[in-house]
Amino acid sequence: MTSICYRKADVDGLRVFYREAGPVGATALLLLHGFPSAGHMFRELIPALSDRFRVVAPDLPGFGQSDMPPRDRFSYTFARLAGVIERFTEVIGLARFAIYAFDYGAPTGFRLAVRHPERIVAIISQNGNAYEDGLSDGWNPVRAYWQDPSQANRNALRSFLAPATTIWQYTHGVSDTSHVSPDGYSLDNFYLARTGADEVQLDLFGDYKSNVAMYPDFQAYFRQWKPPLLAVWGKHDPFFLPAGAEAFKRDIPGAEVRFLDTGHFALETHCGEIAAMIRGFLPKCG
């Protein structure tokens, strides 16, 4: 049995909770979660990989068990999240590592790669977008807030934080929803219900436009450095379209792209398949 450790790292005064397993000297894989989840979304993937890799799954600030500082003391932007995770990797001693980038984890991880390309061994993008081709019409309410950050447009996004919406994100596009454990979305809804969490998430919705603005920078990094990249995509994702996965090949012709018959939270239904793909992919990366 694989032993998983649950720890908190002091990152310049901010406590970042993380899960870690696997041999310290093995290839490191940094698992970066998305909205509205936390490192617990990797609860099945970690033991499936940790016999061979050092697997580390932090909770982003404001998510899960990591600190959620007040908004007047911490700016909830993706640049700030990436800065904390960059320092986190330094604090726990990750010098070179692969990234598993999912949803919000993609712009967080891609920022790390742009800043320190020499540290990145490989990228696994699981519904982690870096191209406008991949943005569906599901982003239209958020785009409206980017264009007009009024209180009315901000309030219109609160439906994305509703418990029923979280469940829908997990189950949309899944052929048999009995295969989706309630554990994940129930824990996500617990964290979303905390005092102040709604405003944190609305801040991040507003700042997501900074990620789209950085797509050319991410793509330039892909073209220049051509990191080994595996795109694993739930093809029924209502937010990130399959075209976003195929687009990686424009900048990294050798990118591997695989589609799964599921939705956004592909690990909930296809963890075994994704783990097998990673086990076949990472050993080929330097």
pLDDT per residue of the chain (286 residues) written in tens, 0 to 9: 568 999 999 999 999 999 999 999 999 999 999 999 999 999 999 999 999 999 999 999 999 999 999 999 999 999 999 999 999 999 999 999 999 999 999 999 999 999 999 999 999 999 999 999 999 999 999 999 999 999 999 999 999 999 999 999 999 999 999 999 999 999 999 999 999 999 999 999 999 999 999 999 999 999 999 999 999 999 999 999 999 999 999 999 999 999 999 999 999 999 999 999 999 999 888 6
Within the chain, residue ranges assigned H as helices are 45-49, 78-92, 105-115, 140-147, 151-156, 163-171, 182-192, 197-225, 242-246, 248-251, 267-281
Q: For residue range 187-240, list pLDDT tens digits in order.
A: 999 999 999 999 999 999 999 999 999 999 999 999 999 999 999 999 999 999
Give pTM, 2 decimals: 0.97
CA distance 31 to 147: 32
DSSP labels, 65-115: TS----TTTS---HHHHHHHHHHHHHHHT-SSEEEEEETTHHHHHHHHHHH
Q: Active-site positions?
A: 264
What single letter denotes the amino acid at residue 69?
P
CATH topology of domain 5-138+211-284: Rossmann fold (3.40.50)
Domain ranges of the chain: 5-138+211-284
Q: Which residues pair with 19 in a beta bridge?
A: 6, 57
Tokens of 4: 């998983």
Element (H, E) at 173: none
